[in-house]
Amino acid sequence: MARRTPATPEELDRLRSQVTRTEHELEDAKMAYFNAAEYQGSAMPYERLKTYAEAFISANHALQKALYGRIRIRLDVSRLLRE
């Protein structure tokens, strides 16, 4: 089996910034959902909140794949939305 090429530092920085950005968006969206407030100019239904959680999960899994070559910690939407 061929060895994978390690991710470049620039790629890792890009992935980390994407994870940070999606995490902040998810936290803001959760706050709007729990307070029944608007977020980015419109109401926050559960389906829209779920898309923010899925974006964070995919960014996090991509970073783990780049760092470790596999996904070490699996995230799912229901656990992210509990807090």
Question: Helices 9-34 & 46-68, crossing angle to 10 degrees?
Answer: 160
The predicted-structure confidence for 17-48, as pLDDT tens digits, reads as follows 999 999 999 999 999 999 999 999 999 999 99
Check the CA dihedral 4-9-10-12 and report its sign: positive
pLDDT at 2 over 80: no
Condensed to tens digits (0 to 9), the pLDDT of residues 44-83 reads 999 999 999 999 999 999 999 999 989 999 999 999 988 6
For residue 41, report the phi and psi dihedrals to the nearest 5 degrees: 85, 5
Res. 1 pLDDT band, cuts 50 70 90: low
* pTM (two decimals): 0.90
Query: Domain-by-domain residue ranges, the chain?
Result: 9-80
